Amino acid sequence: MPADTPSPMNSLHHPPVVRRLPSGWWQRQLSGILVAGFTTAALLVASPALAQFAVSERDILDLDLQDGNEDTSNARWTVNIEDCLTLIDENPEVTLQWKFNTSPPNNTKFAIKLQPPGSTCSFTSTTVDADQEGCILLSSSDDLNGTTVSRTIALQSLLGISETQACFGNDDSEYILGIIYTNPSDTTPGDDANDFVNSQISVDLNLSRPIAPTLDSVGAGENSISVEWSLPSTDNETDDYIVYYSESELVAGDFPEETVGARAQSAVTESVTLTDGVQVDRTYNVAVVMLDSDGNRSVLSNVEQAVTTPTRDFYEQYLASGGVEQGGLCSSARVPDGGMMGAAAVLGLLWTLRRRGARS
């Protein structure tokens, strides 16, 4: 049987259809895949070097000294007086951290510098020149390895604070920490201003106190003390106050951080009534301080004394005035006949109406 003659078997079962592809088809597909793959790979490899490599996060870890004084959008942290005292007591270490959005290109240099107040740092070079007085080079390397750069440092040494008295020094200054690294988009590496870029973190040391209010008046009851005060200026940052009261001595101008044993009550208006722990026949010293937006307290205002004395609440005053009502749910008093008759009439009316309603 000729090879091209369909066999009886083939006439019953369709033979498999084999379609021949045009010559060179596989080669073209394969070459297309290879070109696309190489292009993608080249882009992926090249991308860090194409200005996509940049700091994506700046952070000071563990600097949790006071709520509300961290401004993450600007990488700015504030250390107030209370934080400063904590530094002295605990000397916490903090971790400075910069995160990059992608792995650094090869041979990316970097340096971390601290610019204390009054000094000058260049944040466009990884070295400290002689004319940059006070600028501190904390770290540097010719090979930035990985996407995160972290350095741990004692905050006391960072801020140059070593004793409690420094926290009461009215200091108001800014420390800048910056990472300087090779500019990935600089097409002409060399000794020019575009060789490096930087990312900064600011630490504001705010140890200045707001102005103290003037305590205008105190009034005492049996279990409460009313306090009113005012401010020399109406141009206040906040309307937050703390009133201190104590049977112990309070001294005008003292630092509130050193006022031990006094009760404290917050206020958001220029008056408050103190009740917590206030007892009759006692003498209390009262003073008030103002808080600024960083949580720093002014010194104590002038101190006034409040002497709690017995008072009469409404019912005591009523009885003292000769009132006859003795309380209780049931009156045992003589009820005039007229009143009783009236009550009986109303009850009778209600009963009659109810019966009529039931009949209808």
Partner 1 sequence: MMKNLLTAGLLACALPASLASAEISLNTPTDGKNAFELRFSRFNPGIDDEFDGGVSPYATAFDGRRPYNVELEYDRQFWDGFGSVGAGFHIGYNRVRGNAVTEDGEESPDRTSLTVIPLRASAVYRFDVLHRRFNVPLAFSVKAGLDYYFWAARDAKKNVSEVPATEGDPIRGSGGTSGWHAAFGVHLLLDAFSPGMATSFATNVGVVNSYLFAEYMLSRVDDFGSSTSWSLSQNQLWIGLAFEF
Q: Which residues bind partner 1 (CB under 8 A)?
A: 219-226, 273, 275, 309-336, 338-340, 342-343, 346-347, 349-350, 353-354, 356-358, 360
CB of 320 to partner 1, least distance (A): 8
Closer by beta carbon to partner 1, 46 or else 345: 345
Tokens of 2: 């000729």
In 3D space, the residue among 290, 287, 252 whose CA is nearest the CA of residue 269 turns out to be 290
Closer by beta carbon to partner 1, 60 or else 220: 220
Question: How far, in Å, CA of 117 to CA of 56, rounded?
Answer: 26
CB of 201 to partner 1, least distance (A): 49
Question: Cβ neighbours of residue 144 under 8 Å, at least 6 residues apart?
Answer: 104, 108, 109, 110, 181, 182
CB of 284 to partner 1, least distance (A): 12
Question: How far, in Å, CA of 280 to CA of 221, rounded?
Answer: 8
CB of 355 to partner 1, least distance (A): 9
Question: How far, in Å, CA of 230 to CA of 214, rounded?
Answer: 5
Closer by beta carbon to partner 1, 9 or else 320: 320
28 burial type by CB count under 10 A (0-12 exposed, 13-18 middle, 19+ buried): exposed
CB of 332 to partner 1, least distance (A): 8
Closer by beta carbon to partner 1, 78 or else 308: 308
Closer by beta carbon to partner 1, 56 or else 311: 311
Question: Residue 87 CA to chain centroid, in angstroms?
Answer: 18
Question: How far, in Å, CA of 224 to CA of 360, rounded?
Answer: 62
CB of 275 to partner 1, least distance (A): 7
Closer by beta carbon to partner 1, 24 or else 338: 338
